[in-house]
Every structure is written in C-alpha cells, then in structure tokens.
Structure 1
Amino acid sequence: MKKAMIIGASMAVLLSSCVSQKKYAEMEAKQKETQDLLNTATVKLNSCLEEKASASSELKILQDQVGNLKNTNAALLNNVGNLATLSTKEAENLERSLESIKEKDLQIKTMNDAINKKDSVTLALVTSLKGALGNLNDEDIEINVEKGVVYVSISDKLLFRSGSYNVSEKAKNVLGKVAKVVNDKPDIEFLVEGHTDNVPIKNKVLLDNWDLSVKRATSVVRVLQNEFKVDPKRMTAAGRSYYVPVADNSSAENRAANRRTRIVVLPKLDQFYNMIEDGMKKASQGGN
C-alpha cells in the first residue's frame, strides 16, 4: 500500500511538470509571435518615416531646379533684349526651358498637394480623437503627433488595476470613444503597445514584465474587437516591457508615467506615394 502511494505521488508530480512545461511553451510561442508582429510594425514605421524624408528632399531639389531654370530664362531675355531678335537656336532653348519649368512646377504642386493632404488627414484624426475623448485629465490620456505619426497614450491607472491586465469598466468607456473614431476611418491601421515600469513582477499567471505588457496590449485589442467591433486585421498587439520609458524609474511619479498603453496610428505611406506618382504622370503628360 505504501509503495502504491509513492508511485501515485510520483505520477502526479510528473503530470504537473508536463502541464507546466506545456503552458510555458505556449506562452513562449505567444510572446515570440507578438515580438515578430512588433518588429514588422516597427520596420514598417521606420520605412515610412525614411520615405517621407526622401520625398521632402526630392521636393527641395525640384524647387532648386525651377529656380535655376527661371534664372536662366531671365539671363536669356536680358542678353537678347527683345524676343523678336532671338536667333532660332535661342528661341528653341527658351521654349524648352519654359516647358521644363511648366513640368517642374506641376510636379512640385503635385508633391505639395500630396503632403498637404496627408497632413490634413493627420490633423483630422487628432481633432476627431480629442473631440471624442473630451476633457480627460492629461495625466490619464495624451494625444500627440511625432514625425507625422499619431500617438494616443493611456495611463495604466485608467486601464488596469496594479499588476492586472483586465481592462476596467471605466477604461472601456474611453476605448469605446477611440473605437468610434477608428471605425469611422476604416483605412487606418494601428499598433497597441503595452509598457511597464522596471519593478519586477512574477506570479502564478505572469512570468515577468514582458508578459504583463503583452497581456495588457492583447486585452485592449480584445476589447476593441469584441465589444466595439474594430476589424482585427487593422490591429497589432505588442508588449515593450520597461525598455522604452518616457522617464527614468527613479521615482514613483516617473514609474507611473512609464506604465502606459500606447495606440500608434501607422501611416499608410504607400497611398501617399501612389498619389505623388499619379500626379507626376499627369504632369509629364501635360508637359508633353
């Protein structure tokens, strides 16, 4: 009888270990999948910002070229004095120069229109979010634009209880207002980032700060999807742990600022450059 009890206890320990290893493997796989999504979104965002900088540089080159062409024309007119006395070659040069200026001006206008349209869309989105969220305390929620990207940062004290990843009922009211804005703008995609402070956490459910930050992001995504019908294909959930702080963790106030969830609206720069490309084609056809 005693031997049977020992064997039974040993089997229970082995089964418990298997279950624990299985859960750990699932959580590791889930964390890797989330990190892969985050890396993809980060690469996309960095690429978009680099492309915008390249477009601005190209615009400056075009503007300089137009200035040079105008100076060339002015010099031609000053040297000749009267169009009636222009030689055939000079007249042809002037005509080609004028056509080139016309085409460059159209290209510049196209690029300016595209940039202005993108800026207008960003401004409209920020205005819609601020209008929907109303006069919330700046410590709880913050909306800003950095390099053309819209960020909505929500404090953890509004979204979660300490050490928890369950979204509070008060926070669902806020997320519902955000969902209303994004549902009205079906073309935008966004990333939900979970951030923590550097105080270590580990319990029966959470392995560490990485785990907490990912679970908080996925909790927000699930609320947006299940309760407010936001298309899941438009969302990415990611955890950043405590590695992207907004302040050092030397005080309780700073640690509170670092504990946040960020909604990052990802710019669709492919649409922006398609607009420029179409405009360039029209400008070239018009010049010809």
Structure 2
Amino acid sequence: MKQSFLPLFAVIVSITFTSCVTQGKFNTLQTDYSKLQSDYQQSQLQLTESRTQAKSLEDRLTEARKNNEELRSDLAEMQSLLNKSMAQSSQGSVSISKLVDEINASNRFIQHLVQAKNKSDSLNIVMINNLTRSLTREEMKDMDIQVLKGVVYISLDDKMLYRSGSYEISDKAGEILSKIAKIILDYNDYDVLVEGNTDTDPISRPNIRNNWDLSALRGSSVVQALQNDYGIDPKRLTAAGRGEYNPIVSNDTAEGKTRNRRTQIIITPKLDQFMDLIEQAPKSSLETAE
C-alpha cells in the first residue's frame, strides 16, 4: 500500500510541470499527499497493535482449552471409579451411595472452578483494556502493566512520579496518577498496595538514612496523593518500601538500575474473595462418614 503513494506523487509532480497548475493547487496536492502518507503510517501502527492483542487472546484461549481438557480427564476418571463401584455392588448400596454423592459434589466443584476461571479471564481482559485505554503510548513506555489471576500489577518508573533523588511527587505525576485513580475507583472491592523500590546506589540526603527510608517514603507519598488528591478511601490503601532488595534485573548496569528504581501499584481482591472457592469445596469421605 505504501508504494501506491509514489505513483500518485509522480502524477502530481508531472501535472505541475506539464500543465497550467497554480502554485496554490500544487501546494494543496502536496498537503493531501502528506496527509495520506500520515494516515497510512497511523493505520499500520493500529494494525500492529490489533495483531498483538489478537495474539494475547489466542494464548488465553489455548490455556483455557488446555485446562478444560484436564477437567474433562478428571471427570472421566471419577466416572470410571463410579462404574467400578457399581460393578462391585455386593459391597453394599450404602458405600456406593456415598461415593456417588462425593463424585457429584466433585463435579459441581469442577463446574464452579470452570465458571470462576472464565469469569477471572474475562475480568483480566476488561481490566487490561481499561488500563491501556486510559494511558497514552508515551506514558506506557515508562510503565509495565500485568494482570494475573485478577490482580493488577502496575510498575511505574521513578522519573514519572518523583523529583530526582527525592520522595516528593513531581508536577508531571498528576496526570498519570489521576488515570490510575479512576481505575482504582472502578474496582472499589479491591485493596491497593503501593510499594517503593530503589537500586543499590546509597542515598545521602537530610532526614533520609538509606534506601529503605527512600522507598517507604515514596510509597507513602503516592498513597497520600491518591487519598488527598483523588479521593481514594485510605482504608483500601497500604504504603510499603522494599529498598534495594526486590530487584527485577541486575544492578550492574545503568539500565538495570533504572529499571529497578520503580514504584509498584498492586490492586488485589480482599482475602475473603479468595476464600470463597475453599468454602465451597466438597467434604472428604472421612467428614461425610462422621
């Protein structure tokens, strides 16, 4: 498609030099050509992004199908146990009845897990779309966003949030924090942990003893900004600092140190939401007998 613009431009130039075309018309044609070329480049960028999203969805579908096959295999094994038990009915109908109850309970639990997984996958996709739709490409360059099992991990480069070597929020941090705050408010059942991280370079500033202090103060600064400037309920917020002791890459290079100087915002369900599946698990045969 890109090559098709070259003949068009050649025709425009040819018309300009072989016919009575005014300079104004030529400038208009040249502007139209530039716009077409810009639109083409933009469409190519959008196509690349669409293909990346499609690949991610295909990977999720493959994983879901694999898990579904494993569940089918477990169900078949349970059905086989039921068939064997029924063949040995001489051992008593009471034992078979208990086994059938256990298998039925297990089947219901498996179905519940499948539904929960489908819901979790859908939630992950929605949360990713909401996050990426709120951020510009330029902002995305300095952060890493992951959604794992319904938990959102947002990693922000320190230069997006703080003044150099400081824990004070910079003026340019307001725009990105406001967008993240909207996401947090949309999921009001989730808790938020803000965790500061540093590289291994020692800090020497008044009232900051070491990297532990700096990372904890940075986490606290973001928490207070979310509370005071964006109305996040402080009961949902936790500030933490891990100093230099949670690196994601080696600190042996300047690039590695830059990546390790980050603040993570972790948006996670409350503990009781994780416990729902455990409470609905089928009882063991020992508990049934009792």
TM tier relative to shorter chain: 0.5 to 0.7
Unaligned 5+ segments in structure 1 are 1-59, 81-86, 282-288
The answer for the alignment partner of 2:24 in structure 1 is none
Q: Could you tell which deviates more after superposition, 90-99 or 135-144?
A: 90-99
1:105-254 equivalences in 2 (<5 Å): 105-146=107-148, 149-254=151-256
Which amino acid counterpart does residue 202 of structure 1 have in structure 2? Answer: S
Conserved 8 A contact 1:143-1:152: yes
Instruction: Report the RMSD for the aligned CA atoms in angstroms.
Output: 3.2
Shift of the 256–116 alpha-carbon distance from structure 1 to 2, 3 Å rule, reads same
Q: Structure 2 CA distance, aligned partners of 1:204 and 1:90?
A: 80
Shift of the 280–117 alpha-carbon distance from structure 1 to 2, 3 Å rule, reads farther
The answer for the alignment partner of 1:7 in structure 2 is none
Aligned residues: 214
Conserved 8 A contact 1:191-1:263: yes
The answer for the alignment partner of 1:67 in structure 2 is 76
* CA drift at 1:62: 11
Shift of the 211–88 alpha-carbon distance from structure 1 to 2, 3 Å rule, reads closer
* CA drift at 1:72: 4.1
Q: Structure 1 CA distance, aligned partners of 2:216 and 2:94?
A: 67
Q: Structure 2 CA distance, aligned partners of 1:243 and 1:171?
A: 25
Which amino acid counterpart does residue 132 of structure 2 have in structure 1? Answer: K
* CA drift at 1:181: 0.7
Bigger RCO of structures 1 and 2 (CA < 8 A, at least 6 apart): 1
Q: Could you tell which deviates more after superposition, 127-136 or 270-279?
A: 270-279
* CA drift at 1:131: 1.8
Q: Structure 1 CA distance, aligned partners of 2:257 and 2:110?
A: 47
Conserved 8 A contact 1:196-1:242: yes
Which amino acid counterpart does residue 258 of structure 2 have in structure 1? Answer: A
**Identity across matched positions, percent:** 40
What are the superposed Cα offsets for residues 36-82 of structure 1, whole Å, 9 maximum, x if unpaired? xxxxxxxxxxxxxxxxxxxxxxxx89974x434422455578x79xx
What are the superposed Cα offsets for residues 184-233 of structure 1, whole Å, 9 maximum, x if unpaired? 11100011011111111112232221121111111111111111001111
The answer for the alignment partner of 2:37 in structure 1 is none
Question: If the length of structure 2 is used for normalisation, what is the TM-score?
Answer: 0.63
Question: If the length of structure 1 is used for normalisation, what is the TM-score?
Answer: 0.63
Conserved 8 A contact 2:123-2:150: no
Q: Structure 1 CA distance, aligned partners of 2:251 and 2:92?
A: 71
Conserved 8 A contact 2:216-2:239: yes
The answer for the alignment partner of 1:257 in structure 2 is 259
Conserved 8 A contact 2:194-2:222: yes
Unaligned 5+ segments in structure 2 are 1-69, 284-290
* CA drift at 1:100: 4.4
Which amino acid counterpart does residue 229 of structure 1 have in structure 2? Answer: G
Conserved 8 A contact 1:195-1:244: yes
Q: Could you tell which deviates more after superposition, 242-251 or 263-272?
A: 263-272
* CA drift at 1:275: 4.8
State the secondary structure of the residue aligned to 2:202.
coil
Shift of the 242–276 alpha-carbon distance from structure 1 to 2, 3 Å rule, reads closer
Shift of the 222–75 alpha-carbon distance from structure 1 to 2, 3 Å rule, reads closer
* CA drift at 1:257: 0.8
The answer for the alignment partner of 1:19 in structure 2 is none
Conserved 8 A contact 1:139-1:155: no
Q: Could you tell which deviates more after superposition, 111-120 or 192-201?
A: 111-120
Q: Structure 2 CA distance, aligned partners of 1:205 and 1:173?
A: 29
Conserved 8 A contact 1:142-1:153: yes
Shift of the 74–225 alpha-carbon distance from structure 1 to 2, 3 Å rule, reads same
Which amino acid counterpart does residue 263 of structure 1 have in structure 2? Answer: I
